[in-house]
Chains A and B, each alone.
Chain A
Amino acid sequence: MKKMSIDDKLALDLFRTDEEHPHIIVDLDYKDEEEIRKLVLACPAKCYKYDEGIFSFSYLGCLECGTCRVLSRDKIVKEWNHPHGEIGVQYRQG
């Protein structure tokens, strides 16, 4: 099978997005690279990116798994909640 990028994979999923209410709040000024590295490696949706010293995060595409909350609660992840009812990913297979 041809290799797919994570964006191509996420594009197959159905999302209902709410651009005004992030369900995860992240401290992008966090400096500890080891902490950042864990999230970059662990997030199944690659919502966390670290390119050339720049740390970025987008909650769009989040699969709501909770991994980042468990790994970096009160450090990089300041707030983590489920999105509002009906918002977010909607699996059709599951």
Chain B
Amino acid sequence: MSMREPDADVIIVGGGLAGCSAAIVLARAGLTVFLMERGDECGNKNMTGGRLYGHSLEKIIPDFAKEAPIERIVKHEKISLMTEDGSLDIGYQSGKLSSSPENASYTVLRAKFDAWLAEKAMEAGVEVIPGIKVDHIVVEDGKVIGIESDGEEMIANCVILADGVNSLLAQELGMKKELEPNQVAVGAKETIRLSESIINERFGLKENEGTAWLSAGDPTLGGFGGGFIYTNKDTVSIGIVATLSDIGYTDVSVPEMLDRFKEHPSVAPYLEGGEVIEYSGHLVPEEGMAMVPELYRDGVLVTGDAAGLCINLGYTVRGMDFAIESGRLAAEAVLRANEIGDFSANTLSYYETLLKNSFVMKDLDEYKGFPTLLTKRAIFKDLPEMVDDIAAKLFVVDGKPNSGLIMGIVESLAQRTSARELVDFITILLEAF
């Protein structure tokens, strides 16, 4: 601890999901908390695909969905493998999806959702300070003692970094390296207004039911990445993600990938007559465990996207539930440090222990092989084309001899993949799971 009188017990940088979650837990326990956010309101710098798995916020605010500005409850899942003019879809709808608050997932829009969560933080006693960009972290004798903005310092016993994927502050401290192109994907998204009834009709939804629809293949033209569509109340979130190390694999730009996705014959009819109301862009961390930085040092903890806690499984992206859980666990570690009056790295290491015992590190560990899988052209290019070929053989009847399903599959495989590649591909798949 510094000799200087602290302005607050804890200063949190970043009013996203990780920051707000940490803030609520700390303030409820009676600590004074400053939450610094560069946007002029929490949430208005933030964008996401669209689906929040509710379980981790449930632990902080039970039954939050009853009052939070969620858009819809996901009851329909869809995955598509797309070629230029074809799409093989797998759909799943079941009473098992979102059947309890613990396993429910919701579509959300972050400008509204984060603003609400920040409101909850204020109710808990957090001093939310928007419109302030934290420029530097103040370090004294090797210990973090506060933050600096516009030349002014604020001192605290502990600082929690929840400043998102770019986390310039964790980089400045040397806790985190500069991001590399193979570690992140860029996302571009449009929010398109339709109407509640049109969305329900087109997607086959009842009332507040929602669809999560992910795709690989054509939207990125075989590049690493994919497309997503989430239904909101009266809008649809549609976007693409493309891994940075693979940009330039084709001549198609990121904005063009999104246009291609919107124009795809299996997507366009859903959007017909819609009005674009917002366009947004953001990075997604996707390397998993390998990009997790130092999580704590004397007087400081790193949470959420800033700590690379996010996974992209192709059929689902999870970062929001990780951000919330890591924020809560960071707060738990700080509360313990506060009890014994010692904010050293040694005490704060409890955060890492908590993370390791939680789903966050367990799922990140499971996911270890997946990033390698996602860098195989086979998944994004060969597989969709092969599947399209097989489906066409199966469903197109034109009076010419038809080779039947099994032979059709064998022919398609033989045409597109050498035996060796196939073995490699299957090996990677098995390693990943």
Q: Which residues of A contact B (CB under 8 A)?
A: 1, 3-4, 6, 9-10, 12-13, 16, 34, 37-38, 40-46, 63-67, 69-71, 73, 81-86, 88-94
Contact = CB atoms under 8 A, between A and B. Distances in A.
B279 A42 contact: no
Nearest to A34: B248
Contacts of A69: 166, 179
Interface residues of B, number: 62
Contacts of B263: 3
A43 B39 CA distance: 21
B281 A45 contact: yes
Contacts of B402: none
A57 B109 CA distance: 30
Contacts of A45: 281
B278 to A, nearest CB: 4
A82 B133 contact: yes
Contacts of B44: 90-92, 94
Contacts of B235: 93
A61 B280 CA distance: 10
Residue among A12, A13, A65, A69 facing the most chain B CB atoms (10 A cut-off): A65
10 contacts: A42-B242, A43-B254, A66-B165, A67-B283, A69-B166, A73-B178, A88-B45, A91-B44, A91-B280, A94-B109
B166 A9 contact: no
Given A9-B276, A91-B110, A44 B254 contact: yes
Nearest to A46: B255
Nearest to B239: A44
B72 interface: no
B45 A64 contact: yes
Contact of A71 (B39, B244, B251, B255): B244
B67 interface: no
B112 interface: yes
Contacts of A3: 259, 263
Interface of A is mostly: loop
Nearest to A23: B133
A85 B45 CA distance: 11
For the complex of A and B, 6 pairs with smallest distance between CB atoms: A94-B110, A44-B281, A94-B111, A63-B281, A9-B279, A44-B188
Interface stretch (B200-208, B267-275, B323-331): B267-275
A10 B47 contact: no
A42 B184 CA distance: 12
Contacts of B252: 41
B277 A41 contact: no
B226 interface: no
Interface string B274-302: 10111111110000000000000000000
B247 A91 contact: no
Contacts of A67: 186, 244, 281, 283
A63 B43 CA distance: 14
A93 B238 CA distance: 12
B262 A1 contact: yes
Contacts of B283: 65-67, 70
Interface of B: 38-41, 43-48, 109-114, 130-133, 149, 165-166, 168, 178-181, 184, 186-188, 190-192, 235, 237, 242, 244, 247-248, 251-255, 259, 262-263, 268, 271-274, 276-283
Contact of B253 (A42, A85, A89): A42
A93 B111 contact: yes
Contacts of A93: 109-112, 191, 235, 237, 277-278, 280
Nearest to B259: A3
A41 B165 contact: no
Contacts of B109: 93-94
A90 B130 CA distance: 13
Contacts of A86: 38-40, 130-131
Given A66-B166, A67-B186, A94-B113, 8 more contacts: A1-B276, A16-B40, A63-B282, A66-B165, A67-B244, A70-B181, A85-B40, A89-B280
Contacts of A37: 248
Contacts of A41: 247-248, 251-254
Contacts of A73: 178
Contact of B38 (A4, A40, A70, A85): A85
Contacts of A63: 280-282
Contacts of A13: 278-280
B210 to A, nearest CB: 15
A93 to B, nearest CB: 4
A88 to B, nearest CB: 8
A89 B40 CA distance: 10
B35 to A, nearest CB: 13
Contacts of A40: 253
A9 B244 contact: no
